[in-house]
Structure 1
Amino acid sequence: MSRSRQLFQLSPVVVLFTCLLLALPLAAQDSADPGFQKWIEDFRKTAIKNGISGEVYDRAFKGITSPDQWVLDKASYQPEFKAPVWQYFDNRVQKRAIERGKKKKQKLQSWLDKIEQRFGVNPNILLAIWSIESSYGAILDNDKVMRNVIRSLATLAYADPQRKKFGRQQLLAALKILQSGDIDESHLTGSWAGAMGHTQFIPTSYQAYAVDIDGDGKRDIWNSVPDALATAASLLSSNGWRQGETWGYEVTIPERKLPAGKLTIGEWEKLGVKRANGEPFPRKNDKAELKLPDGRDGPAFLMLKNFFVIKRYNNSDRYATAVGLLADQIGGAPGLVKDWNRPFTPLDSTQVEELQKLLQEKGFYKGEIDGKAGSGTRKAIRAFEKSAGVEVQGYPSKEVLQLLKSQ
């Protein structure tokens, strides 16, 4: 039945209301926020003072009438606990990420060679960053995660007291990206905090490092994987990446107390520090710092200059270590000699997927089947363990998988 015939069968009042509703722009049907609309109007003057044209500004904010509550929820979210070391690395340096990285490397070899020739950055490092930042671009198709960058940053600038300055600064940079023509409004998407594209650059970092390596006239980190990887390489190169050198070494350490700070590799050797795989260190004069991410009983590392360069991408020891370990294994190196401290027998990512599917079938899990044992998976495991009458631990272990299969 056509819409017009349906309307004529309704009461006159309903018909009038329906017609008025259909005539409204889609965005106007949301709960408009007058305070936010006033803020947008006022910020227009700031944008123009910073070189943004009124036309670009108005086009960017067309249809935006209220803050994004999802962004505010993400901004205020405080995790109940810091992920254990084993969980952080298991979710990033895992079988699927390594296999996909190797396939991407084969497919993009000519571009990776070109990027390495220009910036001197190891392609495996770029692939590892791509994996950790966006799961090789998979999150870009997730509408629940990727939002309108203009609305997200305006939301932070307007309604988040802790991030107002960040929101304003990044919003101005995002508007300049639109004005440059590198991307249009409909494709300017990013995380709740405005991290954009395959390699998740915030707008100011994009402005500083973005590269058009595919030669189409646009620095497009959303749709061009070569541009995105070259942009990551540009950031690392600009911050002192040392070509041909690694990021760090897994080592064994003596029982005695070792000094903090940086020493040469030769000096560390005299203190009893050796490579875990038994091979010699290639350069004895390199400065390195000892890191123990999981305490003295876990893997130990001597971190070199490139480790600290990776931290310019994300200022986290765990992040930089994960990038390095994943990059090495994409390049064909074996895994760690000494495993992380864990009170259970671990699963690989394929087995975690199987565990998630079984938990879902039994009604304990509602999240994504992604092979990553995050807080949602561990919560589901605890619920299952409680129902099964066993000790509640929440570990993604082979023991739990076997118990699920047996029931």
Structure 2
Amino acid sequence: MTIKGLDRFLSDRLPELCDHHLRPKQEPLMVVNPPGKANLVILPDASGVPTAALAGRNGNMTVGTADGFDRPQMATATARIDLPPAVRNAQDLPVEKPPVSQPNAVAPADRGGDRPNLQKPQDEHNGGSDKSFLQQLILWSSATALVLLLGVFVTNKSIFIGQQEGDPRSPAENAQNSGSQKFTGTGGSQNQPRAVQAGTGTKQPPSSQQVWAEAKTFLKDGSASSFNKAVVKARTIPANDPLYPQAQQDIERWSLTILDIANGRAARGDFQGAIGAAKLMPDVNQPVYNQSKQAIAQWEELSKDQDVNIALLSAAKGQIKRGVASSYSKGIQQANKIEPGQPKYEEAQQLIGEWSESILKISQLRGSQGKLKEAVEAASLVPSGTKSYQPAQKEIANWKTKLQRQKKG
């Protein structure tokens, strides 16, 4: 009903709207000039144009009263409300209201009619004016909040839809495009910063120190392939670099380590593994490289012999029959085909020694059973050069002596 009431309503309603639309809290500001007019009653103008809804483009809203009797005494109150531009522009539109009748002035009986007393307008007129103003205020406040939310969405679009992560262009292209937009019309690419000019998609090559450090990281495995990777990486250091001499020393040392690994595998009989390691030898040191080539050729021949000897040992083991001395003798004959220096020679000699001892035990068992002739035959199968040969000869002499005594008896 009054300007002060309107100020109190806006002070309560605007923060609620801000909380409802999740916006920062806002406080309305109303300036009444002079301040004493803040308590004046807001009434529609006699001409039918509601003064409470008049506002200019400068944001000033004039709220006035009309008494119909003493207009100079009822001055117009002007209030400045900080409203959004959309609301201020909307308030410039004329609002048609039905004409209202002049309020009647009734003089108080006890004061003898010295000053006319304003009678309150009809409730339907006041209610309609307040309702229209409140509807416009709520409508345009909602529209303003919607515009603000749209602005927030557009500003933070990358957060809502992840546009920045889904951008197919590379960072260098984005930097170049932003730089070209920023420096358009400033005299060409000469005024662009160095970062924009360099953003052509070319990657800065790593320094020699980084290459050398990365090459050393491959050595943690300790295999021939890891040393080969280190050599390949270190060889990318150019000859004019200060680290080139040190890198060449490391490359030669790592190459010799590869050859040592290959020789160690060959000593264990793993010729295929030795060949695989030797093939990783770089051609840095030509004499060492040639040595590895010769070793590969030799290990290939030994690998073939190894396959043949493995087949011989497998056939020898297949001859063995438990308790039959002749089967062990046949197995020994197969194993003796593996010559000294050939792969699997040590394994063959070990099997020959075990099988010779088995033959001796078989002959001793026969001798204890009184089968002296069978015992002598079995012991005669023990090959010379084994640990069981001398004991077998002693047993044979003893059994022959007993056989002669039996003949004489």
TM tier, smaller: under 0.3
> Which structure shows the higher helix fraction?
2
Query: In terms of Rg, which structure is larger?
Result: 2
TM-score (norm: length of structure 1): 0.16
Greater relative contact order (Cα 8 A, min sep 6): structure 1 or 2? 1
